[in-house]
Amino acid sequence: MARIIGGLTTSHVPSIGAAIARGEQQTPYWKPFFDAFIPVHAWLEKEKPDLAIVIYNDHGLNFFLDRMPTFAVGAAARYDNADEGWGIPVLPSFEGDTELSWHMINGLVHDEFGITMCQEFLVDHAFTLPLKLMYPNAGARWPIKAIPVTINSVQHPLPSAARCWKLGQAIGRAVESFPKDMKVVVLGTGGLSHQLDGTRAGFINKPFDLMCMDKILNDPVALTRFSNREIIEQAGSQGVELMTWIAMRGALSGRVDTVTSMYHAPISNTGGAVMLLSNEPAPARLAAE
């Protein structure tokens, strides 16, 4: 059976791509952020996951305002990156897994989620940069397969935190009922607090971010009680990317522990955070197997 062995959350700002391209990882500005991935690399080396489900928000590369799915799931054999205009290198294509994609799509629709299933899917910085941070030495071929899942965080009305949590739970159920042996890691990318426009541009709320990091581990359901308006007030208008974290955590149904956790602000305009959580099968579930 497929197993979800962990969850990773990270900021996804495009300037990470520029810092990598310029070799700035060890400059004082970037060092705390890139160093947060040292324990992530050790964990990946040990655990060797086969596939990443990347829960993120598309920023206009694949979906624009004229057609905006609340939730979309990739069902392609291959996912290409493309130039978004940030001036960062386009990264090599990612291999998908259509069997698992369709299994997830069937599971999500069965669980009453209205999703858009995509047999073509361009993946943006919020998908590619976290994988590049995980595998900085990957050349033309990535050492992991990947499936994109997007949550609309651009065009109102946005899905609620509670709904994103349930989406994550449904993804978790689907993956863990997939009959092939494989190790899956679930990513939630974006956040934490940031606002890129309007009079509050540059807004970062460190106490709120730290509270989210604590709750994501210890009491994720508490985060599902925030309304979207409250999240935007507390975390900024782009801080709703927190939804991807909540969905990631919903997919982890076992005994969850921190492998590593780091907060550093600002990373570009965001409260920059990286968390890697391990997910051990819960004792009750082990007993039932």
Choose the contact partner of 153 out of ligand DHB, Fe ion, none; CB within 5 to 8 A by kind.
none
Task: Given the residues 12, 59, 103, 194, select the one marked as catalytic.
Answer: 194
Subset of 170-209 contacting Fe ion (CB under 5 A) = 190
Q: Which of 116, 260, 268, 278 binds ligand DHB (CB under 6 A)?
A: 268
Q: Which of 2, 5, 8, 13 binds ligand DHB (CB under 6 A)?
A: 13
What are the residues whose beta carbons fall under 8 Å from the beta carbon of 269, sequence distance 6 or more? 13, 194, 195, 196, 201, 202, 204
Specify whether 59 is catalytic. no
Specify whether 12 is catalytic. no
Order of strands, edge to edge, in the sheet holding 94-95?
A: 94-95, 78-81, 122-123
For helices 206-218 and 242-250, what crossing angle results, to 10°? 10
Question: How many CB atoms sit inside 10 A of residue 276's CB?
Answer: 23
Question: What CA–CA distance (Å, rounded) separates 45 from 15?
Answer: 26
Q: Which of 269, 275, 277, 279 binds ligand DHB (CB under 6 A)?
A: 269
Contact 222, 242 (CB under 8 A): no
94-95/122-123 β-pairing = unpaired
Nearer Cβ to ligand DHB (104/240)? 240
Work out the end-to-end distance of the chain between its first and last CA atoms, rounded to an integer number of angstroms: 11
Choose the contact partner of 270 out of ligand DHB, Fe ion, none; CB within 5 to 8 A by kind.
ligand DHB
By CB under 6 A, residue 150 contacts ligand DHB: no
Task: Given the residues 103, 125, 156, 264, select the one marked as catalytic.
Answer: 125
Contact 28, 161 (CB under 8 A): no
By CB under 6 A, residue 239 contacts ligand DHB: no
Nearer Cβ to ligand DHB (37/178)? 37
Catalytic residues: 125, 194
Give the residues lining the site for Fe ion (CB under 5 A).
Answer: 190
Give the residues lining the site for ligand DHB (CB under 6 A).
Answer: 12-15, 59, 126, 190, 194, 196, 238, 241, 268-270
